[in-house]
Chain A
Amino acid sequence: MAVGIDLGTSNSCVAIARRGRIEVLANAYGESICPSVVHFAEDGAIEVGNRAKSRAIHDPEHTITAAKRLMGRYYFSEEVKKAKAVSSYQIVEGPNHAVRVKVRDSVLAIPEVSALVLREMKQVAEAALGEPVTQAVVTVPAYFNDNQRQATRDAGRIAGLEVLRLLNEPTAAALAYGFGRGLAQRVAVYDLGGGTFDISILEIGSDVFEVLSTCGDTFLGGEDFDDRVIDWLADDFLARHKINLRHDRFALEKLKAAAEAAKKTLSVDDEAHIQIEDVAKDPAGGSLSVDRRLSRQEFGALVGDLVQRTFKVCDEALQQANLTVRDLDGVILVGGPTRLPLIREAVSQYFQCEPKAEVDPDQVVAMGAAIHAAALVGDERDSCLLDVTPLSLRIGVAGGLAETVIERNTPVPIEQTSVFTTFRDYQQSVRIRVYQGEVRIEVTFEIDTDGIVQVTARDPDTGQAASTQIHLSSGLTEDEIRTLVEKHQAEPGATAAQRPAPPPARAPVAAPLSPDGDDDLTALDEEVAGLGDEPLDVGDEELPGLRGDPAPLEEEAAADGGVDQEFDALDPASMEEAAEAVAPESDGGAGREVEFDEAALEAAPEPEAGPDGEFEPSQLDVDAEAGDGGAAGREIDLDAEPSHASPAALDEMEAVGSGELDPLAMDLDEADLDSLVDLADDATAVHEMPPDAITRPRGEEPAAARRPAADVDDIDLFDAPGSDLSRYHDDGEPPHGDS
């Protein structure tokens, strides 16, 4: 039998479609909604669902909740940091920056934890149906990236299920809504789950369901609402009793349970009474409790910005579909939090219509998955699901930028070919980085009358910006200059030209200059400009603020055979593309390059500029030979850590072959998975598994898989750290030219 499983952040659900009917399957206690919570008891027993959830209060450290939030993410990502802040269980770093959870003596990969939930759903289905269940359609948030999808698929395999298809949650919901009803409607599916938000616009026909666009936020959901309530309670308690409940795992768990309960109460009542007895002790040993009332209005104020964030995503989805809310026939609500009157009212207001009432927001996704599962195994009449890819796929090019190959909201399945060339003579290998996501970076070049170039990079979505000055003339850092100022003042007789610039490592830190010391610096600039003939290495200086985290992994693929040289296509290298990207109209400028090196700056302090003083960056070749000889250019690293609002994270995975994604990316390889599948049959075995059993050591990949084509060593799949300046490449002009 093939079932449909909604693997949710907070709750999971399993359903089956047979004999023309769709049934949601309940467990032995009659519960059809299973909390996605796993508890690990001291004796090795593992519990999933309501029983596990009830343990959370007494044993928070060994109870894993909301594992889906960590699915397919990297340890250094913003999302994992956030999760660490609110989790009562231990989140640790695994090999290759993977995320692991540590419970008792074992370390588990996230797909393993999710596999335990899936296995529970499988068992519930088997008990309800009285026969083995081996196949399933598992749903994922539409906005999940490739990493997260792979991890979900792995979880299914570990749980002993053949995952027939990963179906997008909103698509599943639309299928359940429209199946067999002969509708012709254009609807929005507003899917606010425990941890993720998706919006999809679909056209529903009698037998064809076409997704017109989909957008989302994989770190926005009901759990965030709970967190706001927890914060509100904890802040209030801190103010009253000077005790921070956040530092007490048990108290935090009680707050969590109370916050969730209050949220649910507010779905029905106008006010929730939050009472937690004995949540802490006062200095004298007396018992302290929480006793607060939370009104709908107060709750609305606590989470209002989160709700507004969902509508920003809706705007984007409508825009991508070239539609307005008036073009829609209705809106379907999916996910527990959409039961909140606050959400219902905001949604009705935004979409200018009442949400469809005939849909159960907790079960509709599993039902849709079940319909599709039945269709895939040929049990049921079939509907054609035409989905789209939620995220653009881009390829990194020289200079740290990326060129789009497949735009988001392109119908799938799709295949696109792009042609690239090497960028150096005698280049024998190519490093290909694949990015998924939508981060865009605006790069602005400015040049002042002193010929100082200022480069500003800005993320237009968040306004986050960083800038740096390029001193191609001197290549001295601020510290070096300060040191020189000191020296200069100490030995007024000596000229700067007689001294080599001190290397940065040995440069003592100079005493801070007075606020008006800038004048001194300017004066010195000219002198130090003449120092030495060697270009000074300014190093890989990063733009402050744009990157918050460790650099993306750059695992050098072991080159075998005759390849003895490897170039990183994203070396501190050409900024030409960036320059072209913001190039104002430069007549016939294409192909013309003016070396903009230190000599040029010295010889011509007034740079090439347009008649009205406008700097034409396309004439600059800021590219410097980035080799051992030291770089005169400066790398502007735009591997930006994106904002929470933007879907992208610094996730990275590797893939091999002609664009085929490497299943090893989730650091579970075939053999590991198989062993996990075996192990998963025995619940306690998971505990005994050595942590490294699920990790494939680098370099042990099958050689055949690692070397697909002569020139392709290695394909890295990034989740969006790059920028989307690709459209500038063709003509070196901004995309729409609405200047």
Chain B
Amino acid sequence: MREFMIKRICYLIPTLIAISIVSFIIINLPPGDYLTARIAELEMQGDSTSKEYLEQLTSYYGLDKPMYEQYIRWITRFVQGNFGTSFEYNKPVKELIAERLTLTMLLSICTILFTWLVAIPIGIYSAVHRRSVIDRMLTFVSFTGMATPGFLMALVIMVAALSLFDVNLMGLFSREYADAPWSFGKVVDLLKHMWLPVFLIGLSGTAGLIRIMRANMLDILGQQYVLTARSKGLKEKVVIYKHALRIAINPLISIAGMSLPQIIGGEMLTSIVLNLPTTGPLFYRALQMQDMYLAGSFLMFLVVFLVMGNFVADLALAWTDPRIRYE
């Protein structure tokens, strides 16, 4: 197990470096970024203080240096915990993203839990009662759920709530808590608002997981050892939960790691529609304004979060399934 862990960690480092390079390239791709626009603006004014400021910016970010040097500057500071300044908000990036990233992670983890809690029992039921009326209905519902992107569903639900019940479903907090410091009341308020985004983000993932769980379970139920267990005279409950389920649930662990990118993407779009105070809307705005240090830090953090998620999933899989360790 330790050897496996060390191997995975060694593999993690080049991945992270490659990711940082790609993030840097992406944020530098747009032809006119915010900084150049800012410099042009300052040059137009042409007074001495702005000239000084401009020189400061140029030397700080190494804008007169070649690309790779800019990258090295950016990444060394990034590792040291200095993520640069958002030009639009004129604030350190760190301040802007800390709370939003936390909320994103919280939402993603809740979504995964929700997906599992809903999908596994339904998948088991569907497999055990295969071809029953309820199974057929669940199959249709899960197919439709898979086809419905959360952000479009969010739009429809929001409009329906607003026009039919005059309820505004936007945001994660009530008005009185939006800018308040963290307190017990705020946490309760957050939990009250969170069910809708979690449902919307988890919708297609849950539907997909139901299908996978059902297929896995059907596969296992057809195995000979299940037949053996049944012919031994074991109770059906024991056969399903003790013999079949344990094996059928194994592949889901690696799927949890793989579904994280999907959830983050869905979270982003849903948050933009529902205007949640998570990474989505700010990243979107940063991209529109070409606020490159903000956008780049977001991208980098999301991917790091993902890679870590995959890492944990890998470890969990190796822990439950010894075959993976000795591959």
Chains A and B come from one and the same complex? no
| Chain B residues close to A by CB (< 8 Å) | none
| Chain A residues close to B by CB (< 8 Å) | none
